């Protein structure tokens, strides 16, 4: 099993600028279809659209974005909802990008040990994080500890039933430093966040598109179609889990308009991948405490965070928290299945891989595109496969 330091090193390389200043973004910060960010813009924007609409039903002034990457979601929440946020990442390079691109208050820390007192923020969110961490139940406990009103978790690695989950867990690849190590069902999320949670799907299954060649109006139409989902179902992908703490209220309907949010998501936040924009650093959110050491030793002595050896502040204002390595606790009974030993190899793995491909083809057949479009897409794939066989 890889150590967290291996993951941090990999993420630092991933989020670093090249020597010539070029930055290849994780999220579509340069606008839809840009080749300067990771592909999958349709699903990313559909997820973000539904997430922003879900958040607009909640009343919160401050929030902590755990696993914020270069600060894309943190910035969108601030601009669309007016709340003030802090971007937290395990990677120092990612925190640098969030600071230089968007001026965000940024903290470097492990999601398993957050450097904030209890009830520090109105809302704590971890979007596409819990599938990557070693102990998702501990991350959920930390989110609940620092949040006053709401905890929101999203993950694309959500399974419709235990059978699908068992298949995905068997096919995990732990040779990768930042792999999907956890796949969840509804029971797991309730075990982490409590029974009183709301589960919403992220988007519908859909056929792949050549995003770089799509017109904006076509992309808008596809995103609008695949984002029309409610609760997780067989033909949907991913989940948005919302836990209301201490009886916090939620609106019956979003205060944002779907079409207006989608229009804004299709536009670039950053113009150039090679030049950092001149951004004025944002102040730390009011009513949210700055990071402090949460080790028992420092709390017992009442030692301020800025004087603690475990917490430093970089010249650009980024905080970095590195407490002593804690002893790994045994997982709760429901989470034993996430063990790295629960994987397949050899002939079993090949058999399960074939089964997964059949399931994925079935999912595509249930996609919202017209049947003629789907048949044409499968025909093209079959034709290309035959051409590759003849070429060999």
Quick: pLDDT tens for 240-259.
Answer: 999 999 989 999 999 999 99
Q: Is the pLDDT of residue 212 over 60?
A: yes
Span 142-165, mean pLDDT? 97
Q: Is residue 176 very low, low, confident or very high in pLDDT (cuts 50, 70, 90)?
A: confident
> Which residue range is the domain that position 257 belongs to?
4-338
Q: What is the pLDDT at residue 132?
A: 96
Q: Residue 138 burial by CB count (10 A; 0-12/13-18/19+): exposed, middle or buried?
A: buried
Express each pLDDT in 107-134 by its tens digit. Answer: 999 999 999 999 999 999 999 999 999 9
pLDDT at 2: 41
Q: Tell me the per-residue pLDDT of 17-60, one tens digit each, with 9 for 90 and over.
A: 999 999 999 999 999 999 999 999 999 999 999 999 999 999 99
Q: Do residues 147 and 189 both lie within one domain?
A: yes
Q: What is the average pLDDT value for the chain, to the nearest integer?
A: 92
Whether 202 and 129 share a structural domain = yes
Q: Residues 65, 178: one domain?
A: yes
Q: Do 162 and 120 have their domain in common?
A: yes
Q: What is the pLDDT of residues 258-275, one digit of tens each?
A: 999 999 999 999 999 998
Residue 387 has pLDDT above 90, yes or no: no
CATH of the domain at 177: 3.40.50.150
130 and 201 in a single domain? The answer is yes
- Residue 206 and residue 142 share a domain: yes
Half-sphere exposure of 184 (CA within 13 A, CB side): 30
> What is the number of structural domains in the chain?
2
Percent share of the chain, pLDDT over 70: 96
Per-residue pLDDT at 361 exceeds 90: no
**321 within 8 A of 311, measured Cβ to Cβ:** yes
Spatial CA neighbour of 276 closest among 27, 97, 108: 97
- Say yes or no: 35 and 146 in one domain: yes
C-beta of residue 34 within 8 angstroms of C-beta of residue 268: yes
Cα separation, 379 vs 385, whole angstroms = 10
CA–CA separation, 50 vs 65, rounded Å? 17
What's the pLDDT at 234? 84
Take residue 352 and report the two structure tokens written for it: 């399960």
In the chain, what percentage of residues exceed pLDDT 90? 77
pTM score of the predicted model:
0.93
- Which residues are CB-neighbours of 182 under 8 A, at least 6 positions away? 130, 131, 132, 133, 136, 155, 157, 338
Sign of the alpha-carbon torsion through 133, 111, 150, 97: negative
Do 259 and 177 lie in a common domain? yes
pLDDT band at 308 (very low <50, low <70, confident <90, very high): confident
Let me know whether 166 and 208 are in one domain: yes
Same domain, 333 and 354: no
């Amino acid at each position: 099993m890889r150590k967290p330091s291996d993951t941090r090193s990999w993420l630092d390389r991933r989020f670093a600028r090249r020597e010539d200043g070029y930055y290849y973004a994780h999220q579509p910060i340069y606008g839809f279809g840009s080749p300067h960010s990771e592909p999958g813009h349709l699903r990313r924007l559909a997820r973000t659209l539904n997430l922003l609409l879900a958040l607009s039903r909640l009343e919160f002034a401050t929030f902590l974005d755990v696993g914020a990457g270069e600060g894309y979601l943190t910035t969108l929440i601030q601009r669309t909802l007016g709340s003030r946020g802090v971007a937290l990442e395990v990677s120092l390079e990612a925190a640098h990008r969030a600071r230089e691109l968007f001026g965000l208050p940024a903290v470097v820390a492990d999601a398993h040990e957050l450097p904030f007192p209890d009830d520090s923020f109105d809302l704590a969110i971890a979007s596409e994080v819990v599938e990557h961490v070693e102990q998702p139940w501990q991350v959920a406990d930390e989110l609940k500890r620092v949040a006053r009103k709401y905890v929101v978790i999203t993950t694309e690695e959500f399974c419709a039933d235990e059978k699908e989950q068992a298949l995905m867990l068997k096919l995990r690849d732990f040779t990768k430093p930042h792999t999907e190590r956890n796949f969840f069902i509804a029971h797991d999320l309730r075990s982490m966040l409590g029974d009183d949670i709301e589960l919403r799907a992220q988007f519908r299954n859909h056929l792949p598109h050549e995003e770089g060649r799509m017109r904006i109006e076509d992309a808008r139409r596809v995103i609008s179609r695949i984002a029309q989902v409610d609760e997780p179902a067989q033909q949907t992908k991913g989940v948005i889990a919302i836990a209301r703490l201490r009886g916090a209220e939620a609106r019956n309907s979003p205060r944002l308009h779907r079409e207006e949010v989608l229009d804004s998501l299709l536009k670039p936040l950053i113009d150039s991948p090679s030049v950092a924009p001149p951004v004025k650093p944002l102040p730390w959110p009011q009513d949210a405490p700055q990071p402090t050491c949460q080790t028992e030793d420092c709390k017992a002595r009442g030692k301020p965070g800025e004087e603690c050896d475990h917490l430093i502040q970089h010249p650009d204002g980024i905080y970095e928290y590195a407490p002593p390595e804690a002893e790994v606790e045994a997982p709760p009974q429901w989470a034993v299945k996430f063990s790295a030993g629960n994987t397949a190899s050899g002939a079993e793995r090949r058999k399960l891989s074939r089964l997964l491909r059949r399931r994925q083809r079935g999912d595509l057949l249930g996609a919202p595109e017209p049947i003629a479009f789907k048949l044409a897409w499968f025909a093209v794939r079959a034709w290309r496969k035959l051409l590759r066989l003849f070429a060999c």
